[in-house]
Structure 1
Amino acid sequence: MAINALGYLGVRSDKLDDWGDFAGKLLGMQKIDRGGKAVAFRMDDRQQRLLVSDEPGETLAFMGWEVEHRDDLQVYANRLDGAGVVVHTGSGELCDRRFVTDLIWFEDPGGNRIELFHGPMIANDAFIPGRPIDGFKTGPLGMGHAVLHVKNIEVMLPFYRDLLDFHVSDFGLEPYGLYFFHVNGRHHSFAMVGSGQLGFHHFMVEFQNLDDVGQGFDLASQEEDRVAYTLGRHTNDYMTSYYAHSPSGFFVENGWGGRVIDPESWEPHQTHDGPSFWGHERLYLTEEGGRKRLRDMRLDAAQRGKRAPQVADCPWLFAELAKQGK
């Protein structure tokens, strides 16, 4: 694969102090002061994983996707240009702000800024978490995943699948269109929610220790309206997680135990069991606005005995189970 990981994310927000507390003290990232107009965060040995810039908007500013080889940047630039997409070469100053060697950037059909980069810079000092945690599951799997609201999945799907080589992991059509994509062994690094809206739905960070998720949930529960989804487990990637309201209004999923697949043998498929085996009660929704419908789907899955296989984190076995429809 040429694009092999979600490398970093950028957010526009004028709530820098709130983001410092949220990403540092709740998520456990390491806060790095980038000057009065921006605050950045580390999750591992990379210089920067999340950048919050003091700009209006309170939404996603950019997604940074890492490519395997430097020459891949030109390959994608040529392909996108041939499809009528305007591609820009990142200046040296922009590369320095992103802590990468080279990058190109462009917009997807929904107007979301995409940056493809090569050569991430590694920090000289050790990662120091913002609260006591065992760290995040990153490395070759990237920083986590990102999920967009989209108006028209039929337009967005070929852009990411055919132009950027994102691979469909699975998709669901009920209660709304959902498409999940992998670029490495993480079950999905990117997803689209066919909500008919535009904007950022959430990003996910995966912890090394389940207790770090639970303790974060306790911390979030002490704040009024901080928890958006209660603790639960997803049906497709088996992630145990809760969702928090970020200072910018979109969600951040705090997860553990996500499914690792074998990208070479994985077969895309449709799912029918709803988003979660249990939990993930949408506290921000009304009963009539979808909360009851999603709960009923979980209860139906429970009635049918649907659950994740209790197996070791084995990509080959997960791929075999997927082929068999289990």
Structure 2
Amino acid sequence: MAINALGYLGVRSDRLDEWGSFAGQLLGMQKIDRGGKALAFRMDDRQQRLLVSDEPGETLAFMGWEVETAEDLETYGARLERAGVEVHWAAPNLCDRRFVGRLIWFLDPMGNRVELFHAPMIASDPFVPGRPIDGFMTGPLGMGHAVLHVKDIDVMLPFYRDLLDFHVSDYGLKPYGLYFFHVNGRHHSFAMVGSGQAGFHHFMVEFQNLDDVGQGYDLAQQEEGRVAYTLGRHTNDFMTSYYAHSPSGFFVENGWGGRVIDPDTWEPHETHDGPSFWGHERLYLSEEDGRKRLRDMRLEAAERGRRAPPVSDCPWLMGELAKQGN
């Protein structure tokens, strides 16, 4: 029994035109009109990875997590109900809107809607990106990752770790609490930021080609205020990325080269280097609100010689090089 990937995300927003441009042209997803009340976006052969519904709120509407077997829905549903969580079985029309075979949904302790599903539908026509890109790193790694603001990590941690079997990859306690979780080989598919707030922090999409990130970065810089974090590299998952302000205010991380781990042998641990080796300057923050503090952490890590391992220690990149050699 296992949840094995982030399958899709839903966003509430009445800014459909802006989302059409942002996700379709900047991120490079394929835009699909769902009848004027919603926009859907493809990233691969799945019918739908991102759904933006014409509703007020400008925030996360739901997270869709894929399970291995249809029986897993019964098992998780029973486990959650024993823990006092109200579980809903989706009617066929909701399954049709999500393009899945079966689905249950419930709320986490902070009111975020979580959906578990089985049997995602595959599109009959090929993926056509919204701008020229080589594609996204999806497949068994899922859509990417999602990160939430949380008021109380001590409440949220056992919910996702113990009830939903999310596995802690690593965590940091400075400058604020950060917990990262894996459900497959992607270093993390889910994370919590202990900011004392509630809401959606960001989601991440990973490109197959670093140039696709760089060209998107160039495009983002043509729009005043679009870039939220400058180009940089993270310390835990080694992702090279920049963050953009979405039309709904939360961030979207555009990344490449993320770390692939072995879930069977991985040991959770505390990290001490801060979020980034270099870059990721928080343009939206003032010096007093933490921008300087995060910059100082990067400079301190650099003084200590902290950096990602050499290419030979990157399983994904070595695998790609091996395929090209064949």
Q: Give the TM-score category using the shorter length.
A: over 0.9
Report the identity percentage.
84
Report matched runs for 1:109-258 at 5 Å. Answer: 109-258=109-258
CA distance in 2, matches of 1:268, 1:160: 15
The answer to whether structure 1 residue 67 and structure 2 residue 67 are counterparts is yes
Report the counterpart of residue 36 of structure 1 in structure 2: 36
Give how far 1:36 is off.
Answer: 1.1
Give how far 1:208 is off.
Answer: 0.1
Deviations 1:171-207 (A, max 9, x none): 0000000000000000000000000000000000000
CA distance in 1, matches of 2:19, 2:201: 17
CA distance in 2, matches of 1:266, 1:304: 25
Compute the TM-score of the two structures, normalised by the length of structure 1.
Answer: 0.96
Compute the TM-score of the two structures, normalised by the length of structure 2.
Answer: 0.96
Report the counterpart of residue 78 of structure 1 in structure 2: 78
AA aligned to 1:151 is: K
CA distance in 1, matches of 2:210, 2:108: 35
Instruction: Go from structure 1 to structure 2 and tell me whether the alpha carbon gap of 1:313 and 1:65 turns closer, same or farther (over 3 Å shift).
Output: farther
Give 3-state SS (helix, strand or coil) of 1:157's partner. helix
Q: How many residues are aligned here?
A: 318
CA distance in 1, matches of 2:193, 2:302: 24
Give how far 1:311 is off.
Answer: 2.6
Report matched runs for 1:307-318 at 5 Å. Answer: 307-312=307-312, 314-315=314-315
CA distance in 2, matches of 1:262, 1:2: 16
Give 3-state SS (helix, strand or coil) of 2:311's partner. coil
The answer to whether structure 1 residue 91 and structure 2 residue 91 are counterparts is yes
CA distance in 2, matches of 1:302, 1:204: 25
In structure 2, runs of 5+ residues without a counterpart are: 319-326
Give 3-state SS (helix, strand or coil) of 1:205's partner. strand
Give 3-state SS (helix, strand or coil) of 1:94's partner. helix
Give how far 1:312 is off.
Answer: 3.4
Give how far 1:314 is off.
Answer: 4.6
**Alignment check: 8 A CA contact 1:67 1:118 kept:** yes
Give how far 1:315 is off.
Answer: 5.0
CA distance in 1, matches of 2:312, 2:83: 43
CA distance in 2, matches of 1:229, 1:258: 17
Deviations 1:191-239 (A, max 9, x none): 0000000000000000000000000000000000000000000000000
Report the counterpart of residue 301 of structure 1 in structure 2: 301
CA distance in 1, matches of 2:161, 2:94: 27
